[in-house]
Amino acid sequence: MAYNETLNNRIREALENVPGVEERYMFGGVCYMINGKMCAGIVKEEMMCRIGEAAQEEALKRKGCREMDFAGKPMKGYVYVSDEGMRNQTDLNYWIGLCLAHNPQA
């Protein structure tokens, strides 16, 4: 299954100075682990963000964001973000920031 290489490069670049980052290929996409915990990734054309339940309600109000579902089941604390929600670097940084803020508590 293919995934968005351009998006992968953007995420990789955004995380390049974060200690403990590991890039893994799984679920037909890419997952970025920080200190062994899933943080962000790509599934097909969308960014997968692990942001925690506390941030999810507010995040879902943003353009291009939707609740993540895996095998038909909603995943609490995870969202998908389409290209519409991260066209510029500021928007991408917002999502990366939410992922990094939640990672220590994950």
Rg of the chain on CA atoms, in Å = 12
Domain 5-105 has what CATH class?
alpha beta
pTM: 0.92
Q: Determine the Cα–Cα distance for residues 67 and 90; give it in Å rounded to an integer.
A: 21
pLDDT digits (tens, 9 = 90+) for 65-104: 999 987 888 999 999 999 999 999 999 999 999 999 999 9
**DSSP-based three-state secondary structure for 19:** coil
